[in-house]
Amino acid sequence: MNLSEFDLIDSYFKRSTTVQNSGVALGIGDDCALLDIPEGYQLAVSTDSLVCGVHFFEDVDPYRLGYKALAVNLSDLAAMGALPKWVSLAITLPNGAMVNNNPNWLSEFTRGFFALADKFDVVLVGGDTTKGPLSITVSVKGIVPRGLALQRNKANLGDLICVSNFIGDGALGLSIKLNELAVTNPQYFVDALELTEPRVDLGILLRGLASSCIDISDGLTQDLIHILKASHCAANIAIESLPLSKTMRKEVNLGKLNNDEAVQYALTGGDDYELLFTISENNLRLLEQRIAQQTQPIPSLSVIGRTTLQQSELIAFFKEKQAVTYSTGGWDHFK
Amino acid sequence: MNLSEFDLIDSYFKRSTTVQNSGVALGIGDDCALLDIPEGYQLAVSTDSLVCGVHFFEDVDPYRLGYKALAVNLSDLAAMGALPKWVSLAITLPNGAMVNNNPNWLSEFTRGFFALADKFDVVLVGGDTTKGPLSITVSVKGIVPRGLALQRNKANLGDLICVSNFIGDGALGLSIKLNELAVTNPQYFVDALELTEPRVDLGILLRGLASSCIDISDGLTQDLIHILKASHCAANIAIESLPLSKTMRKEVNLGKLNNDEAVQYALTGGDDYELLFTISENNLRLLEQRIAQQTQPIPSLSVIGRTTLQQSELIAFFKEKQAVTYSTGGWDHFK
């Protein structure tokens, strides 16, 4: 296949379906897209690159890669409490639409990308296709009512520290893919790694209630440190409160990994894309009321600690109220 | 050097200077940037990738690469009549901040990038640094009063076809870099290729007057064809009206290339980043009045033809009113 850039855009990226109230005044096909921001809202923007050999393996399922390339970006919007609206996709491909000798690679990639885009009514408004080493850069845009975005730098002393759903599963999935570990239910963990669920609905519910928020990409402790440094406080974390999945606990019970290893995956593994936020006790009650009124499922929340005055270590770990030590090292894509 | 991603961002991308009225409610350092769009304006967005070996050579001067990576994106905003405001930069680097054994590569790259950003008061609001094959993806955002953006699909029958400044110089510069051609003043053409001037001021002056507009990246004829197809018309082009630079004409006079070769560079070379637009005769007079009132220099404009009813060839060429034949082939980055 030797598709030109315009053929590629026509074949794979232009879509006949339209999203109601999308705010797209002009979509793909001109020099720029034109977008309408509703009055009283701010624009939230985030850009992330995924590079073959760094963030994914060349033989990754292209559907899952397309899905995840968008998911990690939507997760950034979720962490701001923004409603996702639009996305641009720049993709560099080594050989036309084919990767790893798979002629269906690009159609599978876009199928995964659009499956998630459609779920959140996100419209592809532009992009660029180039020949070169395989990499993907996604730039998402969302809207949030002025003044209600969730930032990192507003955590207050004595706030509860909360996390959504389970943590550590994605990092365990990566270890399985790297053949560092064998477990009884590998697919569950690989799915957690590759079919990340961006917590968009939860992020919107946190508006006006959470004092700070971040999504966990580099590992719980690393991302918590971002909040703590920006907010000038420290944290106590209760190890027994870390939300490990049932499947993770089962692997521990079966002896596939020990409890400390499971905790270490949860603390520093990364690739969770759960929301980590701080909130006052009062506001947590209000949040629980909001959640109870939702018709769509909202992930469970766990209180894992509390912000404190600055101390010698930014994060102090406790296990049944006894001080314990864990590594806080995170994953740096650049090293 | 083994800088982490956060060190890179702190060292090279965070800036102490602020732009007045930038509309940046929250800049680099959180999950997203937060931007304020003034009431009555639409957001214009465009994304372009530059890949080493496809769009530039590894030994390109990094200052010029940083400059051009932003320039080609600002050119897309100019072609919409949008005022540039914000930019995100995703850069993939093979080896820390060093490229081609140059330890100053990244600082030179950012110096070039910010030189142009500062000229247009464009603020860097986000980005991503990754280890991998050298490539750069820039996503620019601008604003344009609602309804005044310049599109491709609104050219009218009988409109004049105009182009700014000179065309063909950048493509000749590329031929020089590829050692396909030797001329007496190579630096002029290489500068035209590498230090592209985005026509932001002209684009804004065209609001409400030009019926369609595009920036010339793929070559005059290819980009004109985009307008013609979108607007359902054809064009007559007067070859003798193509604006060749004095330096180009001098090289022709010196026998370094013949006149037809010069014309072919102008028609199909690409990399001009001049504005190509259609406009009625009346509105061209109004545009000239607007231009006469400007204090900043605006590039010269040339009328090179006129839109016509659809005919067998989308573009008919004339030389002193005689029909002539030229290739309309353009450059496709994907082939």
Is the separation of the CB atoms in A58 and A99 below 8 Å?
A: yes
Question: Is A31 within 8 Å of chain B by CB?
Answer: yes
Specify the range with the lowest mean pLDDT, choosing from A18-27, A52-61, B135-144, B318-327. Answer: A18-27
* Residue spans of alpha helices (H) in chain B: 5-8, 62-80, 105-119, 169-177, 186-194, 200-205, 220-231, 246-253, 259-268, 281-292
Strands A210-215 and A123-131: unpaired
Statement: residue B304 has pLDDT above 50: yes
Statement: residue B310 has pLDDT above 80: yes
Mean pLDDT for the stretch of residues B33-45: 94
Mean pLDDT for the stretch of residues A235-250: 97
Rounded to whole angstroms, how far apart are CA atoms A81 and A205?
Answer: 8
**pLDDT digits over A74-106, tens only?**
999 999 999 999 999 999 988 766 777 888 899
Q: For residue A279, what are its two tokens?
A: 């909130």
Mean pLDDT for the stretch of residues A178-189: 94
User: What are the extents of the domains in chain B?
Assistant: 5-145, 160-324
**pLDDT digits over B67-122, tens only?**
999 999 999 999 999 999 999 999 998 876 677 788 889 999 999 999 999 999 99
Statement: residue A334 has pLDDT above 50: no
**pLDDT digits over B224-246, tens only?**
999 999 999 999 999 999 999 99
Burial string for B141-151 (b: 16+ CB within 10 Å, else e) reads bbbbeeebbbb
Percent over 70 (pLDDT), chain A: 92
Q: Closest partner residue to B151 among A30, A130, A153, by Cβ? A: A30
Statement: residue A330 has pLDDT above 70: no
Give Cα A300 distance to the centre of its chain: 16
Looking at residue A10, its pLDDT comes to 64
Statement: residue A292 has pLDDT above 50: yes
Mean pLDDT for the stretch of residues A295-309: 96
Percent over 90 (pLDDT), chain B: 76
Residues of A in contact with B52 (CB under 8 A): 132
Residues of A in contact with B29 (CB under 8 A): 152, 230
Statement: residue A165 has pLDDT above 60: yes
Residue B127 pLDDT grade (very low, low, confident, very high; cuts 50, 70, 90): confident
Statement: residue B334 has pLDDT above 70: no
Q: Say if A5-145 and A160-324 have the same CATH topology.
A: no
| Cβ pair A135:B131 closer than 8 A | no
Statement: residue B267 has pLDDT above 90: yes
| Cβ pair A137:B141 closer than 8 A | no
Average predicted confidence (pLDDT) for chain B: 91
The whole-angstrom distance between B116's CA and the closest CA on chain A is 20
Q: Which amino acid, B56?
A: F
Rounded to whole angstroms, how far apart are CA atoms A135 and A329?
Answer: 26
Which of A3, A26, A30 should one mutate to test binding to chain B, selecting the residue with the greatest count of B CBs within 10 A? A30
| Cβ pair A137:B230 closer than 8 A | no
Q: Hey, what CATH topology would domain A5-145 get? A: 60s Ribosomal Protein L30; Chain: A; (3.30.1330)
Q: For residue A146, what are its two tokens?
A: 């002025």
| Cβ pair B334:A129 closer than 8 A | yes
Looking at residue A333, its pLDDT comes to 46
Rounded to whole angstroms, how far apart are CA atoms A47 and B86?
Answer: 13
Quick one: three-class SS letters along A249-300?
A: HHHHHCCCCCHHHHHHHHHHCCCCCCEEEEECHHHHHHHHHHHHCCCCCCCC
Residue B17 pLDDT grade (very low, low, confident, very high; cuts 50, 70, 90): low
Question: Is A5 within 8 Å of chain B by CB?
Answer: yes
Strands B275-279 and B160-164: antiparallel
**pLDDT digits over B151-182, tens only?**
999 999 999 999 999 999 999 999 999 999 99
Residue A166 buriedness (CB in 10 A; 0-12 / 13-18 / 19+): buried
Strands A160-164 and A275-279: antiparallel
Residue B330 pLDDT grade (very low, low, confident, very high; cuts 50, 70, 90): low
Average predicted confidence (pLDDT) for chain A: 91
The whole-angstrom distance between A112's CA and the closest CA on chain B is 21
Statement: residue B259 has pLDDT above 70: yes
Does this complex have an ipTM over 0.90?
no
CA distances from B115 to A178, B67, B68 (A): 43, 7, 11
Q: Hey, what CATH topology would domain B160-324 get? A: Phosphoribosyl-aminoimidazole Synthetase; Chain A, domain 2 (3.90.650)
Statement: residue A331 has pLDDT above 60: no
Of the two residues A57 and B300, the one the predictor is more confident about is B300
DSSP state of B37: P
**pLDDT digits over A141-156, tens only?**
999 999 999 999 999 9
Which of A13, A22, A28, A31 should one mutate to test binding to chain B, selecting the residue with the greatest count of B CBs within 10 A? A31
